[in-house]
Structure 1
Amino acid sequence: MDSEFRALFDAQARAATSLANSTLTALPLVEIRAGYRAQRQAQDKCPPAGVMVRQIEVQGGDGRLGARLYVPDGVATPSAAMAYFHGGGFVVGDLDTHDGFCRRLAVGAGCRVIAVDYRLAPEHPFPAAHDDALAATRWCFDHAEALGADRRRIAVGGDSAGANLAAATANMLGHDPVHPLVFQMLLYPVTWPEIPTVSRDMFDGPVLTKVNLAWFTDCLGFRGHGEADRTVLENARLLHPPPALVVTAGHDPLRDEGRAYAERLVTHGATVDHIEFGALPHDFYIMPDMSPAVPRAIEVTIKRLRTALQ
């Protein structure tokens, strides 16, 4: 593991203050969310300038949702755009935890980013978040002119749980000629494999522990649901999937399912660019102050995204 992250996780373990330990699920939900937000904001204190950020509303699966529109300085109108879904196990995370990363995406890729504040579990169990992601992405197409977006260059993206939402949305729109996605960016996606992968067995943290993964699964509440294949990506119906960038992290329980999903996309005809950052842990994209390795990884990722959206 990257030495800077190893030192961080060792210090957290000694102090017993990491949100990634097994006491997480014993805390009140409001404290869990506030703690995650505070921790991630403290690990990303220098987001780039040169981007206009505006609060907007988009259509969700059951009403309006808050969202943020990021427009980098000097970007053409219309420009490519990405509907972005934050990570956090479908339970934590929000527009603030991923604000810095969305700014980096917009500035680095030269595109508009629409970050969606989708509904969280357990208050809103499956498929609420998936319905929100799908409806919000369709809304971006339908309101492309108002957003300053080129509807021929609209993509979806997300990290962890958000990558699951992005992938599920791409799968649902694979047969929709009115909302033709040009690209999907899946950063360490969770796919809920039916048989535990080697990496899920091997890694019990950092960041994601087995206890917390089980808790996220229970909170989402998709087991036994008639539409569960929307989120269990190894069973999802893939029809004309758009090109994809799939990123995995070497020290991440989700590593192997991300690899497997990249391979599955290829077998269904998608052009896939798979990158693995072997020394990094889960959630690294929103911890750029923790190691020089993260800005380097972000630079590589955004360069690939910029090329894909040209």
Structure 2
Amino acid sequence: MNAMQTLKAKLLRAFAKRMKGKFTYDAAQYPLRAVDEKLIPTAWGPARALFYWPNSPSSEPLPVYLNLHGGGFVAGVPEHDDSYCRRLAHNLGCLVVNLDYVLAPEHPFPAGLRQSFEVLEWLAGQATALGIDPQRIAVGGHSAGGNLATGVANLARGHQRLRVVHQVIDYAALNFTQDPELKLSPLDKPLLGTGLMRFFNSCYLSDPAHAHDPLASPLLAPVEALQGMPATTLITAEYDILRAEGQAYAEKLRQAGVPVNEKMFPGCDHMFTHLGPDASAQEAWQLIEDSLREAFSGHCVKLDTFANASAPGHVHHANQQGS
């Protein structure tokens, strides 16, 4: 870590905190019992997390969705995903935990990943007090958060006190060994460009050798090492420079026998679930919601039958906010 790198990261965070999604949901459409903030003890200090509690009529323990925000491992805050977490908590009757994990370059790989996993273990340890079911946990994230989510799901395999039943990987970076210059887009200026990608990578990987670790670059994991991963919803975007590695990871998961619900959204770029186009963003969130509902219900669904098909067109209201 160097001073210039840290300064750039802080400036980027300040800019990111002011950003708002162009596609968001009206919170009034998804009333909840409560939203509160907790500080969860971890080896990297207290981790701030937003807890979204549904108005659940059942006394049964709640399933849990751990949400990990995007931002290149460097920027981003859980509040960027607030309206989506409200929707999922309300519509699924689950507890959504929206985590503010530690960021690079101050906390490079594997700090954010390991902290996120510690939070998962803390949730399982507090299951009775929280009223949650540690055998019905899903993890998911957007961009960098999608990378962390599949890493958490990997670490959770075979755990004695918890079970990850589904992972959501939304336009994630999954291979740090490939030069960003070789990650191509049909657009001349995609949202996530080569220079920004290089900066994110240099912050996150304090040792370039870490790029070869499958926990950093999940695409590098051998097929046999992916056996037993949870069923997966994997979303990519046509114009995103991360599209190819997302599609390659989906195929490798399928080769490992993992049910994969894969959808590439045409005419969309990185972060389209937050920035639009609106119809595509809505379709993607419906896809995520439907996949989690199936996972939490305990039913085994043949997800591959839906691969590259449109999600059901349920209608939800959304507000438009300028960035």
The CA deviation at 1:90 is: 0.2
Residue 304 of structure 2: aligned partner: none
Tell me: CA distance 1:250–1:192, structure 2 relative to 1, closer, same or farther (3 Å).
Answer: same
Checking the alignment, whether the CA contact within 8 Å between 1:60 and 1:133 is kept in structure 2 is no
> Which of the residues 205, 213, 217 maps onto 2:201?
217
Residue 226 of structure 2: aligned partner: 238
SS at match of 1:229: coil
Q: Give the Cα–Cα distance (whole angstroms) in 1 for the partners of residues 218 and 209 of structure 2.
A: 15
Count of residues in correspondence between the two structures: 285
Residue type of the alignment partner of 1:111: C
Q: Give the Cα–Cα distance (whole angstroms) in 1 for the partners of residues 191 and 156 of structure 2.
A: 32
Tell me: CA distance 1:94–1:177, structure 2 relative to 1, closer, same or farther (3 Å).
Answer: same
* Superposed CA RMSD: 2.5
Tell me: CA distance 1:41–1:31, structure 2 relative to 1, closer, same or farther (3 Å).
Answer: farther
Determine what percentage of the aligned residue pairs are the same residue.
31
Q: Give the Cα–Cα distance (whole angstroms) in 1 for the partners of residues 91 and 144 of structure 2.
A: 23
- What is the CA deviation profile of residues 207-245 of structure 1, one whole-angstrom value per residue up to 9, with x for unaligned ones? 211110111000102522398331111223424111111
Residue 49 of structure 1: aligned partner: 30
Asked if 1:128 corresponds to 2:128, the answer is no
The CA deviation at 1:157 is: 0.9
Residue 316 of structure 2: aligned partner: none
Asked if 1:58 corresponds to 2:40, the answer is yes
Asked if 1:262 corresponds to 2:235, the answer is no
Tell me: CA distance 1:274–1:73, structure 2 relative to 1, closer, same or farther (3 Å).
Answer: same
Q: Give the Cα–Cα distance (whole angstroms) in 2 for the partners of residues 260 and 132 of structure 1.
A: 27
Checking the alignment, whether the CA contact within 8 Å between 1:81 and 1:112 is kept in structure 2 is yes
Asked if 1:299 corresponds to 2:292, the answer is no
- What is the CA deviation profile of residues 88-146 of structure 1, one whole-angstrom value per residue up to 9, with x for unaligned ones? 10001112122122212222333111111110001111111011111111112111222
Checking the alignment, whether the CA contact within 8 Å between 2:102 and 2:111 is kept in structure 1 is yes
Residue 90 of structure 1: aligned partner: 73
Q: Give the Cα–Cα distance (whole angstroms) in 2 for the partners of residues 284 and 270 of structure 1.
A: 26
Tell me: CA distance 1:34–1:253, structure 2 relative to 1, closer, same or farther (3 Å).
Answer: same
Residue 16 of structure 1: aligned partner: none
Normalized against structure 2, the TM-score is what? 0.80
Give the unaligned 5+ runs of structure 2: 298-323
The CA deviation at 1:26 is: 11
Q: Give the Cα–Cα distance (whole angstroms) in 2 for the partners of residues 90 and 139 of structure 1.
A: 22
Normalized against structure 1, the TM-score is what? 0.83
Residue type of the alignment partner of 1:91: V
Residue 228 of structure 1: aligned partner: 213
